[in-house]
Amino acid sequence: MKDEGRSKDEESKDEGQRTKAKSDEESEENKGRMSFSSFALRPSSLPFSPFLLIEDLVQGQDGFRLSVPRFAVAPGRAYAITGPNGSGKTTFLKTLALLIRPAAGRLMFEGTVVTGDAEQEQRYRHQVTLVMQDAYLFKRNVFENVGYGLRVRGVSEDEVRTKVGRALEAVGLPDFGLRAAHRLSRGEAQRVALARALILDPRLLLLDEPTANVDAANADIIEQIISRTMSAHGMAVVFSTHNLDQAYRLTDEVVSLRDGLMLDAGPTNLFTGEVEATVGLQRVRLTPDVAVQVTTSKTGRVHLLIPPEDVVVSQAPLASSARNSFPGRIVRAVADGEQIRLGLDIGVELSALITRQSFADIGLMVGGKVYVTFKTSAVRVF
């Protein structure tokens, strides 16, 4: 079954290669057929069919190794890459922007392998742009910076003028065109860099720590611009951040990188619910049967984040001050360095991080019944 599927996939790819020289209309048609066949093969990818797919990516530089088994980007979706300094966020974004070539693995854009083909790489680069942390502005005026990408695409000067004007307005710097770029404040410079990227109307916008070196007021403006353009243009965004609040505020998917390894895509222990306040007690109901006690000043709909390392797993109910305790079952155990990441079913799926030693000591096993406990103060509400 699987083999059959693969040969079908390859067939349609060959066809794609053959018809490359033909008219755009025809290749559009071809694309349609391809996504139909991948839909038939992978029904799970139906709701957000990815246009960018990374598989088995390995990136090595100066003893550092980045490894990303799979990363898919769907149109109009936002992804946050979180992780401590040195975890490989920048390397990953630079690889996505093709500033660094992957040592192994492949990058597919709209069903075509991009890496290693100069023509495809250039086509891909025209659809994807990266705004670096502490962005570099050319030593020219703001207008020429923002118009640069259009000019290298051979866009007419009239159009460049109109679009630059609009782009500067969109980032709230309408009269900045003739200013020297190197005299701007950091926040202003970052906004100019954002305008310079957004003017290209990219399919995928990559942002490396977009608000890291920027004052609070500029950071707010930058966040607003990001969420506004995403909803307006159906552009996909991948950005890195230290700031988990920002990650969850702006995106639907949070991916974490640690020591160059990309962990499970998707949010870990992130839940959404309504705050139910009774006297002296605040709870957020996740399902009709599961409610988590929290302390918060927020009301209405909130996000909850339960750090996996704060979740205690035991064979028997714990006699402790922790207010959240649930019976559950271990559904998964995955080694993650010296630790083991447990998937727990307590009515919702919860992830816990424990050491290999304690996993062995208390005799846990997949399928086994356990008690899951965490303190009210461990639950982050935003």
Partner 1 sequence: MSFIADGLREAVRLIVTLNRDMLGIVAVSVTVSSVATLLAALVGLPIGYAVATHRFPGQRLAATILNTLLALPTVVVGLVVYSMLSRRGPLGFLDLLYTPTAIIIGEAILAIPIVSAFTISALKGVDRRAGETALTLGATPAQAAAAMILEARFGILAAIVASFGRVIAEVGAAMMLGGNIRGSTRTMTTAIALETSKGEFGLAMALGFILLTVAFGANIVFQWLQGFQE
Query: Which stretches of the chain bind partner 1, using CB under 8 A?
Result: 94, 97-99, 122, 125-126, 128-132, 135-136, 138-140, 148-149, 152-153, 196-197, 200
Residue spans of beta strands (DSSP E) within the chain: 52-61, 64-73, 78-82, 104-109, 112-113, 128-131, 204-208, 236-241, 253-258, 261-262, 270-278, 281-285, 291-294, 301-305, 312-314, 324-336, 339-345, 349-355, 369-374, 380-381
- We find the least distance from the C-beta atom of residue 97 to partner 1, in angstroms, to be 5
Give the C-alpha separation, 79 to 256, whole Å. 10
- Phi and psi at residue 182, to the nearest 5°: -80, 0
- We find the least distance from the C-beta atom of residue 351 to partner 1, in angstroms, to be 35
Closer CB to partner 1, 180 or 331, in the complex: 180
- We find the least distance from the C-beta atom of residue 310 to partner 1, in angstroms, to be 39
Burial (Cβ within 10 Å: 0-12, 13-18, ≥19) of residue 171: buried
Closer CB to partner 1, 102 or 149, in the complex: 149
- We find the least distance from the C-beta atom of residue 160 to partner 1, in angstroms, to be 13
Q: Which residue has the tokens 């243009």?
A: 233
Closer CB to partner 1, 125 or 285, in the complex: 125
- We find the least distance from the C-beta atom of residue 120 to partner 1, in angstroms, to be 13
Q: In 10 A of CB 370, how many CB atoms?
A: 23
Closer CB to partner 1, 47 or 154, in the complex: 154
Closer CB to partner 1, 118 or 365, in the complex: 118
Question: Is-contact 133 85, C-beta < 8 A?
Answer: no
Closer CB to partner 1, 196 or 380, in the complex: 196
Q: How far is CA 197 from CA 107, 136, 178, in A?
A: 22, 12, 18
- Phi and psi at residue 318, to the nearest 5°: -90, 140
- We find the least distance from the C-beta atom of residue 148 to partner 1, in angstroms, to be 5
- We find the least distance from the C-beta atom of residue 149 to partner 1, in angstroms, to be 4
Closer CB to partner 1, 73 or 135, in the complex: 135
Give the C-alpha separation, 96 to 109, whole Å. 11
Closer CB to partner 1, 70 or 140, in the complex: 140
Helix, coil or strand: residue 352 = strand
Burial (Cβ within 10 Å: 0-12, 13-18, ≥19) of residue 293: middle
Question: Is-contact 59 103, C-beta < 8 A?
Answer: yes
- We find the least distance from the C-beta atom of residue 151 to partner 1, in angstroms, to be 9
